[in-house]
Amino acid sequence: MCGILAVLGITDNSQAKRSRIIELSRRLRHRGPDWSGLHCHEDCYLAHQRLAIVDPASGDQPLYNEDKTVAVTVNGEIYNHKELREKLKSHQFRTGSDCEVIAHLYEEYGEDFVDMLDGMFSFVLLDTRDKSFIAARDAIGITPLYIGWGLDGSVWFASEMKALSDDCERFMSFLPGHIYSSKTGELRRWYNPPWYSEHIPSAPYDSLVLRKAFEKAVVKRLMTDVPFGVLLSGGLDSSLVASVASRYMKDSEAACQWGTQLHTFCIGLKGSPDLKAAREVADYLGTRHHEFYFTVQEGLDALEEVIYHIETYDVTTIRASTPMFLMSRKIKSLGVKMVLSGEGSDEIFGGYLYFHKAPNKEELHQETCSKIKALHLYDCLRANKSTSAWGVEARVPFLDKEFINVAMSIDPEWKMIRPDLGRIEKWILRNAFDDEHNPYLPKHILYRQKEQFSDGVGYSWIDGLKDHANQQVTDAMLANASFVYPENTPTTKEGYYYRTIFERFFPKNAARSTVPGGPSVACSTAKAVEWDAAWSNNLDPSGRAALGVHVAAYEETKEAKDDSSGYACPQKVQLEKNVVTV
């Protein structure tokens, strides 16, 4: 994963301004520590911090067309770049970089080529022939991008807010699936899949079609020239990613360089549900498994750095980002630069525990559509920025464009949780990989209850966060929160604590407006809170807030002392308690 910064149409073209842009680009160097590049044309600058994954030797950016009249700075991976090169036989390529096709596609097709790209990407392209430019972001927003405007009329783009927030009067998150053209000065949506309209689909469920679509999504993400692995929590989603990657590893080009044994990584407090489940999956698949531990205190000590990197004050995102941030540092120390991860499945299949209360298939489908559209503000942001903080790239096969189209075309009646029919959450995905003759996973892992990452690393992690926030924020501070923070007012001491840290790093009004708000239970949208009247009194993003659904729900736990951290935590939950029997 790389870092990009583009400044276009500035009035000050002095050496001091060039130095300022280099300084701002340096704020993104954690994303791309391998090389720095800068292209300047009159009053336009394209800067790049590179993390070399494909063609490390010659793929430095910015990238160009044949005569260098078109320049592009890109953050991302284009998985179908070889197929696209076949369409561009008349063009001369300078590098083996997957991203170079963007400059040539623009030459060939103008601004209407973005939908041809299969991958995750954010890019800014400058056409020096008429000084026009475009910027675009991938369909779901897997890669981050911000757009800003300077007082001098300049337009700015950056992978992270920290690179433009000081110099722009106004800025915002660049919308996923959109393209900005300087010729119109407007954003327009280039990504228009059938599910986006939220009309209720009616395609029958075909388990084999779903399975093949996911396997294809995983295999295409094995494109790499550097060591890689899989983030394995032991839950359904990451376990399926690991299983499919392990199964197809021997036939991949990566195997020629790095061998056929897959590396897997997991983090948690000692004794946590994820560690035990991940170890079992790793042993079953025969991966080279790396198990990392952290303490509640180590997590607390990292909070400020985590919030600086992930650029949000959303409670559930910070809870889950902290262990992921710590794990990414350990992964990078092993020489690994790319990982596959399981984000997106819960949004697509209605996997969060609150979906047990979905009243009908129509509301379930609309909720899944809303969740997918908001992923760039939550799980995509977390997965990308937590790993990129240490120069590690996260790829997410569940958010493959083709796979989403297949999964979102299925009649949502199949996604409804029906205990009377033996269907738990994400049943259609579990069933698709329930192969008696050639098993992908052990049965009890395949049917393990959903465990949110911030819960699965150890329940005392969230309890420790709450206790720490209670010590930092007084009752009076929370009572006056609406006066101090009138926009997106925090309603808990934990939320208030994160907000104070965020505001210290990003004090502008525009910054706080990039973070979503509203009531939520177990990661629901505000609309889904209405599905159960009891939830309005228990608004918490943890899966354990799904009262009457989670096997270790808040109301059913007893407080106990964790000797290693000194923080109150729920009673130890045996792995068997995390298994749903149907």
The catalytic residue positions are 2
Q: Determine if residue 353 is labeled as part of a ligand binding site.
A: no
Q: Determine if residue 435 is labeled as part of a ligand binding site.
A: no
- CA separation (Å) from 221 to 212, 250, 372? 14, 14, 20
User: From start to end of 80-138, where are the E strands?
Assistant: 119-127, 132-137
**Which of the 8 DSSP states describes residue 576?**
G
Cα separation, 94 vs 474, in Å, equals 60
What phi and psi, each to the nearest 5 degrees, are found at residue 186?
A: -135, 155
Cα separation, 330 vs 266, in Å, equals 10
Q: Determine if residue 341 is labeled as part of a ligand binding site.
A: yes
Provide the residue count of the chain.
Answer: 582
Single-letter code of the amino acid located at 434: D
Instruction: Report which of 2, 43, 8, 41 is spatially closest to residue 25, judged by C-alpha positions.
Output: 2
For residue 488, is it left (φ>0), alpha (ψ between -120 and 50) or beta?
Answer: left
Instruction: Report which of 104, 37, 98 is spatially closest to residue 64, judged by C-alpha positions.
Output: 104
Single-letter code of the amino acid located at 431: N
Contact by Cβ (8 Å): 397, 217: yes
| Alpha helices (runs of H) in 70-117, residue ranges in sequence order | 81-86, 101-109
- Quick check: helix, strand or coil at residue 101? helix
Question: Residue 496, Cβ neighbours under 10 Å: how many?
Answer: 21
Contact by Cβ (8 Å): 149, 155: yes
Cα separation, 458 vs 271, in Å, equals 7
- Residues in the annotated binding site for ATP: 231, 267, 341-342
- Residues in the annotated binding site: 98, 231, 267, 341-342
- Residues in the annotated binding site for L-glutamine: 98
